[in-house]
Structure 1
Amino acid sequence: MMKSGLEDVIAAETKLSDVDGAAGRLIIRGVSLDDLVATSRFEDVAALLLDGLFDEHIDAASIRKQLGMARAALFAHVETADAALLALPPVDAVRALLARVADGEDFATAIRLMAAPAVFLPAVLRLQKGEAPIRPDASLSQSADILRMLTGRVPTAEQTAGLDAYLVTISDHGLNASTFASRVIASTHAGLTSSVLAAISALKGPLHGGAPGPVLDMLDGVGKPENARAWLSQALDHGERLMGFGHRIYRVRDPRADALKTALKPIFASGQADAGRIALAEAIEAAALALLKERKPDRPLDVNVEYYTALLLDALGFPRNSFTGVFAIGRTVGWIAHAREQTLDGRLIRPQSRYVGPLPNAA
Structure 2
Amino acid sequence: MIYKGLKGVTCTETTLSMIDGERGKLIYAGYDARDLSMNHSFEEVAYLLWYGTLPNESELQWIEEKFKTHRNLPHYMKNIIENLPKELGILDVLRTSISSVHLNSPEIPTVEDAIRLTAIIPAIIAYRLHSLGTKKFPTIRQDLNHVAYYYYMATGIDPKPELTHALETYMILTMEHGLNASTFSARVTASSESDLASSMTSAIGTMKGPLHGGAPTGVIELLNDASHSNNIKSMIREKMERGEKLMGFGHRVYKTLDPRAEALKEILQQNPKADQWFSLALELEDIAIQTLEELKPGRNLYTNVEYYAAAVMKALNIDSSLFTATFTASRIVGWSAHVMEQRSNNTIFRPNAEYIGPVPTTF
**TM-score normalised to structure 1 length:** 0.93
Show the counterpart of 1:314: 314
* Deviation of 1:357 (Å): 1.7
In the TM superposition, what are the counterparts of 1:143-154 in structure 2 within 5 Å?
143-154=147-158
Match of 2:224 among 220, 225, 239: 220
Paired residue total? 356
Task: Give the aligned residue type for 2:235.
Answer: W
In the TM superposition, what are the counterparts of 1:192-271 in structure 2 within 5 Å?
192-223=196-227, 227-267=231-271, 269=272, 271=273
Q: Is 1:348 paired with 2:352? A: no
**TM-score normalised to structure 2 length:** 0.93
Show the counterpart of 1:338: 338
Contact residue 21 and residue 249 of structure 1 kept, 8 A: yes
CA distance in 1, matches of 2:230, 2:31: 40
Task: Give the aligned residue type for 1:172.
Answer: E
Return structure 1 stretches of 4+ with deviation > 4 angstroms: 73-76
CA distance in 1, matches of 2:184, 2:42: 22
CA distance in 2, matches of 1:75, 1:39: 37
* Deviation of 1:158 (Å): 1.1
Say if 1:226 and 1:286 are closer, same or farther in 2 by CA, change over 3 A: farther
What are the superposed Cα offsets for residues 325-348 of structure 1, whole Å, 9 maximum, x if unpaired? 110000000000000000011211
Task: Give the aligned residue type for 2:354.
Answer: R
Say if 1:118 and 1:300 are closer, same or farther in 2 by CA, change over 3 A: same
* Deviation of 1:87 (Å): 2.6
CA distance in 2, matches of 1:313, 1:52: 30
Say if 1:149 and 1:79 are closer, same or farther in 2 by CA, change over 3 A: farther
Show the counterpart of 1:177: 181
Show the counterpart of 2:121: 117
Moved more, 338-347 or 348-357: 348-357
* Deviation of 1:129 (Å): 4.2
Task: Give the aligned residue type for 2:204.
Answer: I
Contact residue 74 and residue 119 of structure 1 kept, 8 A: no
What stretches of structure 1 of length at least 5 have no aligned partner?
A: none
Contact residue 33 and residue 169 of structure 1 kept, 8 A: yes
Work out the percentage of aligned pairs sharing the same amino acid.
36
In the TM superposition, what are the counterparts of 1:1-363 in structure 2 within 5 Å?
1-51=1-51, 59-74=59-74, 77-103=77-103, 104=106, 105-223=109-227, 227-267=231-271, 269=272, 271=273, 273=274, 275-362=275-362
* Deviation of 1:186 (Å): 0.8
Contact residue 261 and residue 303 of structure 2 kept, 8 A: yes
Q: CA RMSD in A?
A: 2.0
CA distance in 2, matches of 1:12, 1:322: 32
CA distance in 2, matches of 1:193, 1:3: 30
Task: Give the aligned residue type for 2:324.
Answer: T
* Deviation of 1:83 (Å): 5.0
Q: Secondary structure at the match of 2:18?
A: strand
What are the superposed Cα offsets for residues 75-123 of structure 1, whole Å, 9 maximum, x if unpaired? 7733432253443111111211112212422332111111122221233
CA distance in 2, matches of 1:265, 1:126: 34
What stretches of structure 2 of length at least 5 have no aligned partner?
A: none
Contact residue 219 and residue 306 of structure 2 kept, 8 A: yes
Q: Secondary structure at the match of 2:204?
A: helix
